[in-house]
Structure 1
Amino acid sequence: MVFDAISTDAITAVTDGWYNQLATSLNLSVRSFQLLQPPVVPVDDRSLWGCFDVPPETLKYNRWYFSQPDFFSQYAAIANGLSFPDSAFAADIGAVTYAKWMDYLNSLSSPPPPNTLPTVWFQWAMVNAPSVANIGRTDLSTQLLINSAQAALQPFEGENARPADFSPSFSDLKTTLLASQGASFSFDSAHDNPDVSDSWVPGDDPNYFGMWTGSSPAIRISRKFALSRINISASFTHFACVTVTPGTWYDSGLLHLAMVSQSTPPWIDSSDWETYFGASGTLTHAIGSLLAVDGITLTLTSDADFTEEEQAIVKAQVSMGYWPVYCPAQSSVISNTVTTSPGSTTISMQSAPGNPVVLGFNVFGIGNYLGGGV
């Protein structure tokens, strides 16, 4: 196969046009939408939840190219990297006050429940140490938050760990889709809009795949295809944007504490903040919601003038799935067909009803995800 230096730009341009058309047709915001390539076709909870990685900062998330950590592992590592020891509390309120406070606790007939300790402290301190009442309450609240969050994580770690769950479940996603509206739209590369400068990731954003899943955008077949006139007729029986919510193992307050605090405590090692939240950190973005569709019918025509050899190559890749969805064929779920002739290529893709296909995510910077507006 012959490679061409500018073919990546051609594929990127036509894919940006498709991205904009899809966003417009489904009323998606280019300020947060990310296209998955290839999409996820879950079959159960684990395969659905397993796609909730930390998304890269790119409009097209090529899951073959990027190696992203999953959200749970990042959260768990952060949670286990936080601590607020009694020594830090004692340092903030003073050794004398700490000794008096401990004497008070020991004088009680039974220790107060941990979740009431910040309030019990505040009531005692307003009489006995008012100047440090507020900072002491803050310290004990932080200690309670960390300890509670780490306790909630325990069932999901270790040898007999429960799977890290999210909402929606697979069955809930199918139910939501069944009650959702459908959509039909068309795409014409001769009149598309490849301008993504107002999107959440403006500028050069390569697609990394060429004409079919796994192919290089630099091969001449991909360039011919991308520079041809491409027409698409697409319809979804149902589509929905569904909020993605971590399960009981997750505490947004803890993650917010970790993000806004760079010191020790709450970090055991303050350099870890940069590891997760710095400019090159591993948790700078998170998935707020997913775009799922059901009952895809897509027909694409191209006037690319492929040689007989190139036609044979294109036909041989039918199981891999083609641009723009890149959905590999799956028995009884996804079917792909292609017919070629000189100056004409027709590609059809269908998904069987009742099988959700996750086409993309709405992605937010970790500050916005946590409600901090950052």
Structure 2
Amino acid sequence: MATPSNFVDLQAGFYNALVQGLGYSNQDPFQIIQPSPPLPGGDDADDLLWAYLNNLPVASLTQNTQFSGGNQFLADYQGVMSALQSAPNNFQSTIGPTCWAAYQQALKDHEVKTGAVAFRNWALYCQPCSAVATSGASALAAAMLDPIFAAQMNVTPYKPVGDEPVTFSPGYSKMLTLLKKAPSRSFEVSASNWQTDVSKTWTQGSNKGFFGLWGGSSSSSSISGKFASGGVSVKASFDNVLPFNATPGDWYGSSAFGMAFNNPGKAPWMSNNPINWDTTFGKNGNMQRFSSSLLIANKMNISVVSAAQYSQGEQSQIQSNQGNGLWPFYCSGSSGGSSTSASFDKDGGMTVTITSKANVPIVIGCIVLTAGQYLGHEALASKRLIEEFYS
């Protein structure tokens, strides 16, 4: 137990406090997500929620979504599917090159869904394909029995190959229903009672990409250093916290992806392809980790008291930047679902207050699984984490 000496220690201490406050152990694969803008609903509610699941996490205790490495589940998965060889079939030869090109374009343009029946119904009214509508449907039905071919066809309509956005199930509406029934959580840390040792966490202490005192600031800036080392206490409560689990939509084929994972350096991987097992699942691969569940909070109330004494100039600087969100969650409040404010006492001490409205979800973290765990090789680990949460 100690007072953090710098912002790195403060962030580590907050990680330990949050993990414990949510009912986990700091050896569980929990990751803080920052910044945390509210998800107020609306036409793009599903897309905003699913974007968190589509983002592939780095090996860090903190995931800064603005500093993301750019690895996205759907796009990287499409790359894997393009590097796999499906079992021989006669669908393409049956329909011929002209009809094949028309069918591929129709999939991308959402004029037809995948599957034999959909192909036949579409082909009957498509000039280059009408003559092979029935024979092509039969050949496609046989080809779709191969999980790799089926996966390659099913992912074609989705971005960036097609125009369809990434999907997961369930969506925002179901999530909000579950969130309202989830348990409350709270924790409190005094200025001299921080646990900053994160060496035994799932990243062995690796923590990178987080901001400083306000969103977009550096954790090594002088004002961030003053804040972190001057004595910080935190009191946090959440009316509800939900571990939200969702599965990829029709674009994803777990059988094909599992075959790719379980066969390093051999079929179904194509030989001499720049996308291979090592570039995907290896030490420097782009699909080593997945967000298996999101930790979503409802009606958040956080008070952060800093004992450091801030000059009038520093106070003005902090207040002018509070619109970017302040530590620890950097809720900018741009959508109106949350509020962040900084006030100062006569001695220059600061109190930061962060609140979010009822039924306006805030994503505050996620559970990270390795590719093997995500594919079900260690599914009990995820089940155990959820059971611990609700115990």
TM-score by length of 2: 0.76
Structure 2 counterpart of 1:315, from 303, 316, 319: 319
Q: Render the CA deviation track for 1:156-181: whole Å, top value 9, x for unaligned.
A: 25786332211231111111111112
Counterpart code for 2:181: A
Match of 2:281 in 1: 277
**Deviation of the 1:203 alpha carbon:** 2.7
Residue of structure 2 aligned with 1:332, choices 336, 342, 365? 336
The alignment partner of 1:74 has SS state of helix
For 1:98, the equivalent position in structure 2 comes to none
Moved over 4 A (4+): 110-117, 157-160
| Residue correspondence of structure 1 range 183-194 to structure 2 within 5 A | 183-194=185-196
CA offsets per residue over residues 319-367 of structure 1, 9 Å max, x none?
A: 1111111111224311111112434101111111111100011001111
Aligned to 1:348: 353
Q: Unaligned stretches of 5+ in structure 1?
A: 1-7, 88-109, 118-139
Query: Do the aligned residues in 2 keep the contact of 1:114 with 1:144 (CA within 8 Å)?
Result: no
Letter in 1 for 2:341: T
Q: Is the 8 A contact 1:241 1:289 kept in 2?
A: yes
3-state secondary structure, aligned to 1:186: strand
How many percent identity over aligned positions? 28
How far, CA to CA, are the matches of 2:136 and 2:351 in structure 1? 74
Which one is further off, 270-279 or 294-303? 270-279
**Structure 1 residues 264, 49: closer, same or farther in 2, change over 3 A?**
same
Seen in structure 2, the aligned counterparts of structure 1 residues 254 and 363 have a Cα distance that, compared at 3 Å, is same
Aligned length: 322
301, 305, 309: which one aligns with 2:309: 305
Give the corresponding residue for 1:216.
218
In structure 2, runs of 5+ residues without a counterpart are 90-134, 380-391
In structure 1, give the amino acid aligned to 2:350: T
Mapping of residues 81-120 of structure 1, within 5 Å? 81-86=83-88
* Cα distance change, pair 155–111 in 1 and its aligned pair in 2 (3 A): closer
Pairing partner for 1:289 from 293, 305, 308: 293
Cα displacement string for residues 103-159 of structure 1 (whole angstroms, at most 9, x for unaligned residues): xxxxxxx99978997xxxxxxxxxxxxxxxxxxxxxx99x81111112222332578
1:184-263 alignment runs, 5 A limit: 184-206=186-208, 208-263=210-265
Which shows bigger deviation, 265-274 or 354-363?
265-274
Decide whether the 8 Å contact of 1:182 with 1:239 is kept in 2: yes
User: Once the 2 structures are TM-superposed, how far is the Cα of residue 298 of structure 1 from its aligned partner?
Assistant: 1.0
**Residues 1:34 and 2:68 aligned together:** no
Counterpart CA distance in 2 for 1:293 and 1:19 is 16
Deviates more, 1:180-189 or 1:167-176: 180-189
1:47 equivalenced with 2:57 (yes/no): no
Identify the residue that residue 19 of structure 2 maps to in structure 1. 23
Q: Partners in 1 of 2:11 and 2:161 — Cα distance?
A: 43
Within 2, Cα distance between the matches of 1:189 and 1:254? 51
Q: After superposition, what is the alpha-carbon deviation per residue over 1:241-279, rounded to whole angstroms, capped at 9, x for unaligned? A: 011311122111211111121335312245522221121
Secondary structure of 1:210's aligned partner: coil
Report matched runs for 1:87-166 at 5 Å.
144-157=146-159, 161-166=163-168
CA shift in 2, pair 1:33/1:115, >3 Å: farther
Shift of residue 55, structure 1, vs aligned partner: 0.6
- Provide the C-alpha distance between the structure 1 equivalents of 2:162 and 2:81, rounded to a whole number of angstroms: 19
C-alpha displacement of 1:208: 3.2
